[in-house]
Amino acid sequence: AHLARIEAVDEKVHAFLHVDREGALEKAREVDAKRERGEKLGPLAGVPLALKDIFTTQGVPTTVGSKILEGWIPPYDATVTRRLREADVVILGKTNMDEFAMGSSTENSAYGPTGNPWDLTRIPGGSGGGSSASLAAYEAPLAIGTDTGGSIRQPAAVTGTVGVKPTYGGVSRYGMVAFSSSLDQGGPCARTVLDAALLHSVIGGHDELDSTSIDQPVPDVVTAARNGDVKGLRVGVVKEFRGEGYQAGVMQRFDESVELLRELGAEVVEISCPSFTKALAAYYLIAPSECSSNLARFDAMRYGLRVGDDGTHSAEEVTALTREAGFGDEVKRRVMLGTYALSSGYYDAYYGSAQKVRTLITRDFEKAFEQVDVMVSPTTPTTAFPIGERADDPMAMYLADLCTIPSNLAGNAAMSLPCGLAPEDGLPVGLQIIAPALADDRLYRVGAAVE
């Protein structure tokens, strides 16, 4: 049924870069056969899922939304992919994304944009626009995203779906193509809080293949999602997340959510995190710096595309020609920015300062979580903007992640879930819930209460 739905609508939505029809049907048959034989089935047996094209899939193309990996077939599965297979999930295919997960609209994909199922002329968010759009278009009931600065939560917000960035280290990064390794975090996307929890519990947990993976059991997110409750919970409203640039209808729905939390028995406290105002600036030095290092591996020798390999060019020239042709504008902008920020003589002024700001942001969170159990904010300042509106204005694009980036810098857990439609445009608004590191279950407890 989901393959038929994809066939019917994906020409318009373009959530998928690759539909693995054969692989999906084969897995579905395998699950049926296991069931008939009375064998033990995985916890998500037969449930279809859309996988962001940043996770390696053995024998199935993985492009990361880039021309530079066009034609590359990974020889191995990411840990997330492997765990999905072991849970007997049916992987439908790979979803569209901003190239190397750099963007907030999926317009930076080398394979063309994805439409927002609520209004196809608008962006589905990014970088994981394909995953969230596939849920909103009913092409898949579950999806996987990655969140470096908001790429799970912002697409969830603008498509009216649920998305969770687990605590950093909570879901393995092995086989997840690196953008900014100290920020990147894979996580679940779904249409309900409980569905997200069921998926989270399957993909999460320690992995020896990722040195930053947390060596502890996954917090009990499923029980939390089944027992939504905020009675007596202290909820912090972050003062810095409102004001200029925030759409009126977004703030209206957010304020109503805060009111609902109060009615359900939460104690609402206003808190201040002054360093959050510098988060965007710090992020746009740290993320490009790490990306300039991570993307050095795309040298035309190891994977995918190779340009100019005709016997007339040196190896260096082949690398340069391939990178020139294979990387899009945003990726080049970040590699240049990062290389500059890390260069000798500038390192302390840029990268060093950004790391200090990162520490201040972490301290703001620590202080806040002495006063409150969770924090809330709008996920993103506006609803889905029209495709093309911010394509030539990187600064405007970067603002979409104003409220999501602090949690990546600090490494704590955060969720976005729908909280109604903005009255002025009838488009979905996201509520962000933020919890301390390792307290991912709190997100689900609160999310299930207000869902």
Query: Which of 66, 109, 134, 151 is flagged as catalytic?
Result: 151
The reply to whether 40 belongs to the active site is no
Nearest distance from C-beta of residue 122 to ligand GLN, angstroms: 17
Q: Quick one: 149 or 304, whose CB is closer to ligand GLN?
A: 149
300 belongs to the binding site for ligand GLN (CB under 6 A): no
Query: Which of 168, 179 has the CB closer to ligand GLN?
Result: 179
d(CA 72, CA 79): 19
Q: Please, are residues 39 and 153 in contact by the beta-carbon 8 Å criterion?
A: no
Residue 37 Cα distances to 34, 119, 122, 163, 207, angstroms: 5, 45, 47, 36, 31
Under rule CB under 6 A, residue 450 binds ligand GLN: no
Q: Could you confirm whether 127 is annotated as catalytic? A: yes
Binder of ligand GLN out of 79, 104, 114, 407 (CB under 6 A): 104
2 versus 52: smaller Cβ distance to ligand GLN: 52
Q: Can you give the C-alpha Rg of the chain in angstroms?
A: 21
Query: Of 44, 287, 391, 437, which one interacts with ligand GLN (CB under 6 A)?
Result: 287
Q: Which stretch binds ligand GLN (CB under 6 A): 3-11, 83-91, 101-109, 253-261?
A: 101-109
79, 127, 257, 294: which one contacts ligand GLN (CB under 6 A)? 127
103 close to 59: Cβ distance less than 8 angstroms: no
Residue 148 interacts with ligand GLN (CB under 6 A): yes or no: yes
Q: Is 131 known to be catalytic?
A: no
User: If 0-12 CB within 10 Å is exposed, 13-18 middle and 19+ buried, where does residue 203 land?
Assistant: buried
In the complex with ligand GLN, the residue whose CB is nearer, 143 or 449, is: 143
Please say which residue, 148 or 161, places its beta carbon nearer to ligand GLN.
148
Q: Pick one of 74, 93, 129, 150: the residue that binds ligand GLN (CB under 6 A).
A: 150
Number of residues that bind ligand GLN (CB under 6 A): 13
Minimum separation from the CB atom of position 107 to ligand GLN (A): 11
What minimum distance in Å lies between the beta carbon of 100 and ligand GLN?
Answer: 8
Among residues 102, 140, 203, 318, which is the contact residue for ligand GLN, using CB under 6 A? 102
373 binds ligand GLN (CB under 6 A): no
Single out the residue of 103, 141, 175, 406 in contact with ligand GLN (rule: CB under 6 A).
Answer: 103
Binding mask 233-272 for ligand GLN (x = CB under 6 A): ----------------------------------------
383 contacts ligand GLN (rule: CB under 6 A): no
**134, 19 Cβ separation under 8 angstroms:** no
Q: Which of 66, 105, 127, 172 is catalytic?
A: 127
**Using CB under 6 A, which of the segments 25-33, 95-103, 133-141, 204-212 binds ligand GLN?**
95-103
List the one residue from 401, 411, 412, 431 that touches ligand GLN (CB under 6 A): 401
Q: Which tokens sit at 206?
A: 């320690």
Q: Out of 6, 13, 101, 331, name the contact with ligand GLN by CB under 6 A.
A: 101
Region at 88 (left for phi over 0; alpha for psi -120 to 50; beta for the rest): left
- The torsion angles phi and psi of 396, rounded to 5 degrees, stand at -65, -40
The nearest distance, CB 189 to ligand GLN, in angstroms, is: 13
Cα angle, residue 203 at apex, residues 433 and 399 outer, rounded to 5°: 40
Cα separation values, 262 from 14, 60, 257, 265, Å: 40, 48, 9, 5
151 in contact with ligand GLN (CB under 6 A): yes
Query: Of 58-66, 98-106, 212-220, 360-368, which segment contacts ligand GLN by CB under 6 A?
Result: 98-106
Residues with catalytic function:
52, 127, 151
Would you tell me which residues interact with ligand GLN (CB under 6 A)?
Answer: 101-104, 127, 147-151, 179, 287, 401
